[in-house]
Amino acid sequence: MSGDFRLAQISDSHVRADDDGAAAQRLQRAVRQAERYRADAIVITGDLVNNERADEYRVLADTIRDVATPIYLMPGNHDDYAHLRSAFPDHKYLPSEGAISYAIDSYPVRIV
């Protein structure tokens, strides 16, 4: 990593499964923009989905599946922890039970 560190934050994506992909497309555009800015990591903060439904988390997972930049998810008050964990089993930083809070110490800044 160079002397610079770029952390992108995308907030309140409110991904839905019933809007013909409009929210997912907005999120994809934001992620692509962060990658164009050469973000070293992207943090997507809640509300990740709109209605706390499992199908919305699947749409979210599909939307960010092929992003090369590391993505960290931080749920908001409209997020269901069980559905989030189920849709993102490969996001090992997510605690396996209880409230979802964590810290990432892999960068020049601590992500909490």
Name which of 66, 103, 69, 64 is nearest 84 in CA terms: 64
**pLDDT per residue as tens digits for the range 2-28:** 579 999 999 999 999 999 999 999 999
Supply φ then ψ for residue 39, to 5 degrees.
-60, 140
**pLDDT per residue as tens digits for the range 32-51:** 999 999 999 999 998 999 99
pTM, full prediction? 0.94
Kindly state the DSSP code that residue 47 receives in the 8-state scheme: P
Pairing of strands 7-11, 71-74: unpaired
